[in-house]
């Protein structure tokens, strides 16, 4: 059985690549299991609703696994809970702790790679891992947990059952219970099985990245972390590659940048470029048509031609509406209303060029209790000065 781990920077197309890989293998007749590690259903919109033979999709549920493990732990420690007078926790009030998701992913990988006799065996397991930093931490978790268990509960210090009370009285502290050593030994076996799956020759890693400066840095860091863990890179999938045939205008710079990054990657990896579709691939019922534009003037052709995408197209407004349709009334702009209201009323403290501009002549009656002072001679317009209220005589 082969195991393919797919990871890459966030937003590079990891889930889409994992779904396409699993779907292609299933259509070739390979019994494939696609394992999703995201809490949200990201594989559903990509795969669509159509069923595919030889393909099984499974999503990790860390909440259910954590509740099951905690319930089993409470059953083993029932006597201690009764002695302390503590009550059991109901499954509804149990919230998963940090790290439960990573443990659930490792357990699902172990169960898929080492199935039980009554379970279905697969020829290929495709795992959609989290982004590269989290994926590296996830792959290093089995070794770190085993080291912590050996430090906390060393097997060589496990005494016989008959000597446990005597050693407890001599040391003055209670000795760890036998079930605790049993739980640690069982967890150590599970982690060892996961390490065996990761160290297998048939376990490969496939990186997904977008060619560019940020993608090159992410691939370099991922390759270094995987080499430290002893994992081999199968291939590098370069997503959103712009075609060079139609690179003109503002696309010339990004195309040259992608070409330079691809040349560097081809020296170290088996690169599989994926052309930019101009849209997100949603639904794999017809994967052969996903790379074709839907119409001649589609989004992809307008993008490659250098046109700016202005969103939804709007119908042009007609100067004369067709017969039978009332003219459309639009509200005037408030700024234009204020400009028409104050036309011809430029105060004298404004610049001379503005006061000498040919404005519309308009006389305004002063309000009651106010006087209007004309502009100086030569201004070329008749306007009202900012009105000042004067005291009445008497």
- Tell me, which fold does domain 2-250+270-295 have in CATH? Rossmann fold (3.40.50)
Distance (Å) of CA 290 to CA 217, 280, 282, 283, 286: 29, 9, 9, 9, 7
- At which residue do the structure tokens 């889930």 appear? 15
Would you say 344 and 291 are in contact if contact means Cβ atoms under 8 Å apart?
A: no
**Cα distance between residue 267 and residue 263, in whole Å:** 7
| Structural tokens at position 185 | 């030994």
Residue 1 has a pLDDT of 85
- The domain limits of the chain are 2-250+270-295
- Is the pLDDT at 293 greater than 50, yes or no? no
User: Which H/E stretch holds residue 128?
Assistant: strand 124-128
- Is the pLDDT at 376 greater than 80, yes or no? no
What pTM, to 2 d.p., does this model score? 0.64
**Cα distance between residue 188 and residue 195, in whole Å:** 10
Q: What is the mean pLDDT of residues 334-361?
A: 55
Would you say 197 and 190 are in contact if contact means Cβ atoms under 8 Å apart?
A: no
- Is the pLDDT at 330 greater than 80, yes or no? no
**Cα distance between residue 371 and residue 33, in whole Å:** 89
Q: Which residue has the higher pLDDT, 236 or 76?
A: 236
- Is the pLDDT at 343 greater than 80, yes or no? no
Neighbours of 94 (CB within 10 A): 14
User: Which H/E stretch holds residue 71?
Assistant: helix 62-76
Residue 312 has a pLDDT of 47
């Amino acid at each position: 059985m082969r195991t393919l781990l797919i990871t890459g920077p966030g937003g590079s197309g990891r889930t889409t690549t994992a779904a396409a890989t699993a779907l292609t293998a299933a259509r070739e007749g390979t019994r494939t299991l696609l394992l999703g590690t995201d809490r949200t259903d990201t594989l559903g919109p990509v795969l669509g609703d159509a069923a595919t033979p030889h393909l099984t999709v499974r999503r990790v549920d860390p909440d259910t696994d954590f509740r099951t493990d905690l319930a089993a732990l409470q059953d083993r420690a029932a006597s201690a809970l009764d002695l302390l007078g503590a009550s059991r926790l109901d499954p509804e009030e149990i919230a998963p702790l940090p790290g439960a998701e990573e443990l659930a992913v490792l357990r699902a990988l172990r169960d898929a790679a080492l199935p039980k006799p009554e379970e279905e065996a697969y020829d290929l397991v495709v795992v959609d891992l989290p982004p590269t930093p989290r994926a590296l931490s996830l792959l290093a978790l089995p070794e770190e947990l085993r080291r912590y268990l050996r430090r906390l509960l060393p097997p060589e210090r496990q005494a016989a059952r008959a000597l446990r009370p005597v050693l407890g009285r001599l040391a003055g502290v209670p000795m760890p219970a036998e079930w605790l050593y049993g739980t640690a030994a069982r967890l150590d076996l599970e982690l060892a099985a996961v390490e065996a799956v990761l160290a297998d020759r048939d376990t490969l890693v496939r990186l997904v990245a977008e060619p560019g400066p940020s993608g090159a840095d992410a691939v370099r860091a991922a390759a270094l972390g995987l080499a430290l863990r002893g994992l081999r890179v199968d291939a590098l999938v370069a997503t959103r590659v712009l075609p060079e045939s139609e690179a003109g205008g503002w696309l010339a710079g990004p195309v040259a940048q992608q070409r330079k990054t691809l040349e560097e990657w081809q020296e170290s990896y088996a690169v599989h470029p994926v052309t930019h579709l101009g849209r997100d691939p949603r639904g794999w019922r017809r994967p052969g048509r996903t790379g074709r534009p839907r119409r001649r003037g589609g989004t992809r052709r307008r993008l490659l031609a250098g046109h700016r995408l202005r969103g939804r197209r709007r119908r042009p407004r007609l100067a004369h509406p067709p017969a039978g349709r009332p003219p459309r009334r639009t509200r005037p702009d408030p700024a234009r209303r204020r400009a028409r209201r104050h036309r011809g009323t430029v105060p004298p403290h404004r610049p001379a060029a503005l006061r000498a501009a040919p404005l519309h002549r308009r006389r305004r009656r002063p309000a009651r209790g106010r006087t209007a002072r004309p502009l100086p001679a030569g201004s070329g317009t008749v306007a009202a000065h900012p009105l000042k209220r004067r005291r009445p005589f008497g």
